[in-house]
Amino acid sequence: METLLNDFSPGLFVVSTILMLALIALMVKFAWKPILTSLNEREEGIQGALDAAEKAKREMANLQADNQKLLQEARLERETMLKEARELKSKMIADAEAQAQSQANKMISQAQEAIESEKKAAMAELKSHVAGLSLEIAEKVVRNELSNKDKQVKLIEDMLGEATLN
Amino acid sequence: MKIVQRSLKCLAIAILMFLPTSIFAFNAGEDGGQVSGKQEVEAYIVHHLKDSHDFNLFSYTDDSGERQHFGVALPVILWSSEGLVTFMSSEFHHDDNGHVIVEKDGLKFTKIHSKIYELEKGATAVSFDADHHATNASKVLDFSITKSVVGILLIGLLMLFWFSRLAKQYKKKQIPTGFGRILEPLVLYVRDEIARPNIGEKHYRKFTGYLLTVFFFIWILNLAGLTPLGFNVTGQLAVTACLAIFTLIIYTVSGNKDYWMHILWMPGVPIFVKPILAVIELVGAFIIKPFSLLVRLFANISAGHIVLMSLIAIMFTLKESLGVVGATSLSFVLSFFLLLIELLVAFLQAYIFTMLSALFIGMAVAEHDHEHEEHAHEISSDVEDVRGDFI
């Protein structure tokens, strides 16, 4: 301890204190302040750049998501449009079919009616024609039959016979 | 392969740089003669550990048997009983035992074991008592530009040069080039690993300048102590005391209310314990902390120098038992490995000094935003644990 105290030099202590104070002051002013400021600025710059990149990435992702959404919407819209069109098409076809059907039915029934009336007319005409013909034939047959006496008798007899049977 | 080559190259440079210490270190004996005996080696080591008034690089004995010294004389500045006295250290003619008396302005001065004494009026030679203390001379205040002061100046200028250049580089570009590329990570290391975690995000900026200066100052001077120039600045008590007192002043001045509360009136303990704790805390804050700082650095660096020089001295002390080649090679091998350890210690001591300074400052500016009554005991024990780990 005594040696240590003896070794301690007050003069050197004072001189080194003054020199250290000067050194600290000079170093802080000319070295540490500008260095630390620049380092901080650089770090902040890097941080800022990183943040900006992150932000840009996020925006890009948002944009992409938007695009995706738009695309999805467009696809859905197309889908619905196609569906509507398909429905419309089938509806139109069905309508047309129904209309055609009814038209056809109508035409058929008209035709049938026409046929029916034609048929009736034809039948009536045929009837009257046949009646005429029958009358003519009956007239001719009667005339022929009645030309012979025997035959007349025989006819009466036949007729009578039939009548008895009835 | 490249790495191996490179590391070999580094090793070679290290050897070339540091081993010549052995050549220079023992050339000048205390009495100007060659050093050979154990006693002389011891005396020489003690002499080296002290500050010196001239910057002696090496000495040799010429053909006519006279000691020739090669080095630079430094100015001696004294505050004597009659005011300021200055002369060059060469006037002592490398005497360190009080044999040479320098007369200046009617006053007589002599140098004994690196200390300058002023002789009493009328005395013509120093007389010693049994313990080799001068009886008719007293120490004077010595503000000389000693070897340590030269070391501080040189390293200070070197630091200013390096780091102001680094600072200038940032004006032009974002990333430094050349030597700045080595300095920048060191600056970042001190800021991010020492200042920021120990002092806290909020306050560290204010103290980083001091911590950086101290870190590089101690580290570079420690390294300079391992060169053949033979500086022993960080092994001077006056220098480490100066650094420790700076730290003491900084954490005392910047201590906040919580800090003083914890020292003077510890919250959360019984009232009768508080004065006892206050005494302990005051002693801790004003004596133990700075003392641990100054002694640790001084002792580590001194011990390193003593061991390294002793290992180099094997060359002389074991010459007879091992032969010249054996003693020399043993000395080279041992001192080389110790030198590698010392390179680590040089960094480690700078780191520990800065780190502890940051820790002490951090304790003084820490903000306890929680309730004292509940956690006070916990905090104080934490602080004690942390302190216990480092002291």
Question: How many CA within 13 A on the CB side of residue B370?
Answer: 8
A118 in a structural domain: yes
Can you list the positions of beta strands (E) in chain B?
54-61, 67-73, 75-80, 83-88, 102-104, 107-112, 115-119, 137-139, 141-142
Phi-psi region of B230 (alpha: psi -120 to 50; beta: other; left: phi over 0): left
DSSP H or E run through B176: none
Q: At how many degrees (to 10) do helices A10-27 and B237-253 cross?
A: 50
- What distance in Å separates residue A66's CA from the closest CA in chain B? 39
- What distance in Å separates residue B72's CA from the closest CA in chain A? 19
A16 in a structural domain: yes
Q: Would you list the DSSP string of A54-88?
A: HHHHHHHHHHHHHHHHHHHHHHHHHHHHHHHHHHH
Tell me the per-residue pLDDT of B132-144, one tens digit each, with 9 for 90 and over. 778 888 888 889 8
- The overall pTM is greater than 0.80: no
A141 in a structural domain: yes
Task: List residues bridging with A13 in a β-sheet.
Answer: none
Collapsing DSSP to helix, strand or coil, B353 comes out as helix
DSSP H or E run through A45: helix A33-145
Q: What is the predicted pLDDT for the residue at B30?
A: 39
Look at residues B209, B180, B174 and name the one whose alpha carbon lies nearest to residue B194: B209
CB proximity list for A16: less than 8 A, separation 6 or greater: B148, B149, B152, B236, B238, B239, B242
Nearest chain A residue to B204 by CA distance is: A36
Tell me the per-residue pLDDT of A138-150, one tens digit each, with 9 for 90 and over. 888 777 767 777 8
User: Lowest mean pLDDT: which of A39-48, A73-82, A104-113, B2-11?
Assistant: B2-11
Measured between beta carbons, which residues in chain A are less than 8 angstroms from residue B131? none
Binding-face residues of B in 215-234 toward A, CB within 8 A: 217
Task: List residues bridging with B77 in a β-sheet.
Answer: B86
> Which of A40-44, A74-78, A151-155, B9-13 is predicted most confidently?
A74-78
Look at residues A3, A60, A36 and name the one whose alpha carbon lies nearest to residue B183: A36
> Do B217 and A20 make contact, defined as CB atoms within 8 angstroms?
yes
Total structural domains in chain A?
Answer: 1
The alpha carbon dihedral of B296, B302, B305, B308 has a sign of negative
Binding-face residues of A in 30-59 toward B, CB within 8 A: 30-36, 38-39, 42, 45
A3 in a structural domain: no
Measured between beta carbons, which residues in chain A are less than 8 angstroms from residue B174? 42, 45
How buried is B267 (Cβ within 10 angstroms: 0-12 exposed, 13-18 middle, 19+ buried)? middle
Per the model's pLDDT, the better-predicted residue between B60 and B297 turns out to be B297
Measured between beta carbons, which residues in chain B are less than 8 angstroms from residue A3? none
A2 in a structural domain: no
Interface ipTM: 0.80
A42 in a structural domain: yes
Q: Compute CA A83 distance to the chain's CA centroid, rounded to the nearest angstrom.
A: 1
Range of the domain at A40: 8-165
- What distance in Å separates residue B231's CA from the closest CA in chain A? 14
Spell out a b/e string for B359-369, using b for 16 or more CB atoms within 10 Å of the CB, else e: bbbbbbbbebe
